[in-house]
Amino acid sequence: MTAFAHPLIRAKKKLKVIYYGDPICSTCWVKEPYIRKLAVEYSDHIDIEHRMGGLLESIEAFQRKTQSVFKPEELKNLWDSTSQAAEMNMDGDIWLEQPIESSYPPSLAYYAAQKQGITKALTFLRILREMLFLKKKDISQEYVIKHAVKIAGLDIKWFMRDFYSPKIRSKFQRDLQDKEKWDVREFPTLIFVNDIGEWEKVESAADYPTWEKALVKVSRQPIQKQVATYSTSYLLSQVDFLASKEIAVILNKSVKQVEQELEALYLKGEVIKETYSHSIFWRKKDSNFSIIRRVNSKSKAIIIGGGMAGLTTAINLKKIGFKAKVFERRPPDGRRGLGFLMLKNGIDALNLMGLGNKIKKIGNPINYFMAFDLQQNVIAERDLNDFLALRRGDCIEMLTSELEEEDIAYNKNFSHFEYNEKGEAVGVHFKDDTAEYGDLIIGADGVRSQVRRTLYPEYELEPVGYKEIVCMVDLPELQDNIRDTFFKLQDEDLAMGLVPFGHGKYVWFLQFKTSKHALNSNDTELKREFVLNAIKHFPPTFKQVADLSDFSQAYFWDIRRMKMLPKFHKNGIILIGDAAHPLISLTSQGANSAIEDSVLLSHFLSEYQSVEKMKKCFATFTDFRYKTIDGYTKEGDALLEQFLGEHSTDEYKAPFTHADTNYIQAKFV
Ligand SMILES: Cc1cc2nc3c(=O)[nH]c(=O)nc-3n(C[C@H](O)[C@H](O)[C@H](O)COP(=O)(O)OP(=O)(O)OC[C@H]3O[C@@H](n4cnc5c(N)ncnc54)[C@H](O)[C@@H]3O)c2cc1C
């Protein structure tokens, strides 16, 4: 959202609109299109002052005041039905899963954000609402507010000072007292005030024409409105993210008409579309890469492996026009894994696929990284932007739900290829003696890829000098203290990390040098004994975390690396994700780079019209990705050196690579 959304704030106008709302108020969200319309059409005449009305101090206070029992299921049903009717999506499940405790923290946050400028504060308020209504986040939690602060580009230290300042609290209290004076009983309530203090109040049920009538009444002279005449494309270039309904209301069009126009822009690769249960949201594409339908729909792609790379590629290839099918070795409920960190480059790639908000919905925001030595001195600290902790199973489920049932075949273990006379693969054989034939064959079968071994048997995975035990643990009592910080404790031969995954769940990992510690078994008791013994000198929290873990669920990870392949393709087969370039866990790039691969490959493929030409893009893809992957690998080497080296005096490096780099948005020339 830019200043465009609220141009009225720019200058002092004759009329003022006092808008009493609340960040968690569903009717305020539903009226969002109309408040924007008011701002656009009467920008020459009015200033809008947003005030927070204190809808929910706490659930207990609400029950006391209304003498009623708080019923989450009623709220859920209300949100679901209202959003459907209003075409502004709201996910009511939050009331069943994690009811919002209070609307006071996000209200105070809005006043604190105002200190950094009214436009930024309004952007921030919108982000908070999107987090609640679209991403199902409890915006009463401070760590969620901090995440929104970072997305809005506010200065976090400045914000936190104001968030806790008594002045901000008094400002909120004053507005709450004023609310009583105006007798505001529901939200949103708009009070139109003229320069001699005459006023007209309209309550939440009032429609837009009623607002206009109130405005005309207090203006005491004819008032000319400026109906928006610009195009949908221009509107989206000015405002970051809008629902079809918002665009339709602002531009005086029907939702159907707007969606037809935007669908045409979407097919040209100019906008990104995010589909929700009850509405579609749009954003202008700010990347040179597109996933556009251009391929002859008869072309068939065979994808070996249904992990992050395979599933995202199937989604993208279907979008560009392929018939794409995934062949996965495991059954549908096969091991789902634990979790990983989603960095900015992975989130940007998912944004381009129109899945940015869906991934944020299932991910837990991580705002900080902190590393300590054994004496608990801080050895590194870092602010993180656009960082999520994601359960792998949730991610696989979300991606699978974007595909049709027939797009994935399970229990299909790759065996070998069938080649034509030119030596190019045309078919894939599986261990159950079945075969599939297609125009495009993609190897996305992970770190121990059989496809890669078939193409490049001379390239082998080598031990790196450390191994890792990873486990998920339920620690609801820890979540009051550790909700959004990735902690790492660094000892000489060991490092232990703790990452919050939301809802009281944490993933911990213990990395150990194989030159100093020996564990070669996946046996539950041996893993437990090994970990508890290795960390017996660690601070109590880390020991407690291990103590409470179920080691039968702990994953023993024998980290391996491999020399870079000369190219990511051979014999007409393209490799992506871990199959193409295994990256060590210290880079945190496994899932992120796999999704980037998928988006970039799909972009290059979509530029070619025929299958013959398409294969040429494998070389383009390799050229483009090679430098990036080489960069991740080298940064991984430096992190490895830091861990394995005896006593590094260098500044401690955080365990992720290129966390702030955005390759998807990079200009490709
Ligand atoms: C079960 C599992 C759990 C994981 N858990 C974690 C975790 O907790 N944390 C973490 O950081 N990383 C984890 N990873 C690795 C992480 O998902 C990848 O590094 C990253 O997502 C890269 O994605 P990818 O698609 O290239 O590989 P992967 O996500 O590994 O996907 C490869 C897919 O190919 C399938 N496959 C393999 N061989 C064949 C074959 N012969 N025929 C057909 N299909 C085949 C695999 O079953 C898998 O589904 C896990 C991987 C797997 C397979």
Ligand 1, atom nearest to 445 Cα: 34
- Alpha helices, H only, 87-231: 94-97, 104-114, 118-133, 142-151, 156-163, 166-181, 208-219
Predicted local confidence at residue 564, as pLDDT: 95
Mind listing the pLDDT tens digit for each residue in 41-61?
Answer: 999 899 999 999 999 999 888
Lowest-pLDDT range of 206-215, 246-255, 289-298: 289-298
Among 328, 413, 657, name the best residue to mutate to test ligand 1's pocket (greatest count of ligand atoms within 8 A of Cβ).
328
Q: Which residues pair with 302 in a beta bridge?
A: 325, 441
Ligand 1, atom nearest to 451 Cα: 41
- The token duo for 203 is 């309550």
**For atom 8 of ligand 1, which residue has the closest CA?**
338
| Distance between Cα 660 and ligand 1 center (Å) | 24
Contact 313, 400 (CB under 8 A): no
**What domains are defined for the chain?**
3-219 (3.40.30.10), 232-284 (1.10.10.10), 300-361+389-461+564-644 (3.50.50.60), 465-558 (3.30.9.30)
- Cα dist from 199 to 16, 192, 193, 452, 592, whole Å: 9, 5, 4, 73, 54
Q: What whole-number distance in Å separates Cα of residue 273 and Cα of residue 281?
A: 6
Q: What whole-number distance in Å separates Cα of residue 572 and Cα of residue 442?
A: 9
**For atom 10 of ligand 1, which residue has the closest CA?**
340
Predicted local confidence at residue 4, as pLDDT: 38
Which residues touch 438 (CB under 8 Å, ≥6 apart)? 300, 301, 302, 325, 426, 427, 428
CB-CB neighbours of 397 under 10 Å: 12
How many Cα neighbours within 13 Å face the side chain of 234? 7
- The token duo for 286 is 């700010």
Mind listing the pLDDT tens digit for each residue in 167-212?
Answer: 999 999 999 999 999 999 999 999 999 988 899 999 988 999 999 9
**For atom 12 of ligand 1, which residue has the closest CA?**
340
Contact 76, 42 (CB under 8 A): no
| Distance between Cα 192 and ligand 1 center (Å) | 58
| Distance between Cα 309 and ligand 1 center (Å) | 9
- The token duo for 57 is 């101090």
**For atom 38 of ligand 1, which residue has the closest CA?**
445
Mind listing the pLDDT tens digit for each residue in 486-497?
Answer: 999 999 999 999
Among 312, 316, 329, name the best residue to mutate to test ligand 1's pocket (greatest count of ligand atoms within 8 A of Cβ).
329
Residue 13, amino acid: K
Average pLDDT, the chain: 91
| Distance between Cα 579 and ligand 1 center (Å) | 9
Among 303, 308, 441, 501, name the best residue to mutate to test ligand 1's pocket (greatest count of ligand atoms within 8 A of Cβ).
308
| Distance between Cα 392 and ligand 1 center (Å) | 9
φ, ψ (nearest 5 deg) of residue 665:
-85, -10
Among 303, 315, 340, name the best residue to mutate to test ligand 1's pocket (greatest count of ligand atoms within 8 A of Cβ).
340
Mind listing the pLDDT tens digit for each residue in 344-384?
Answer: 899 999 999 999 989 999 999 999 999 999 998 999 888 88
Lining ligand 1 with CB less than 6 A are: 304-310, 327-330, 335, 337-340, 392, 412-414, 444-446, 450, 470, 577-579, 590-591, 594
pTM for the structure as a whole: 0.91
> Which of 122, 108, 202 minimizes the C-alpha distance to 159?
108
Distance in Å from the first CA to the final CA of the chain: 29
Range 389-417 average pLDDT: 97
Q: Specify the length of the chain in residues.
A: 669
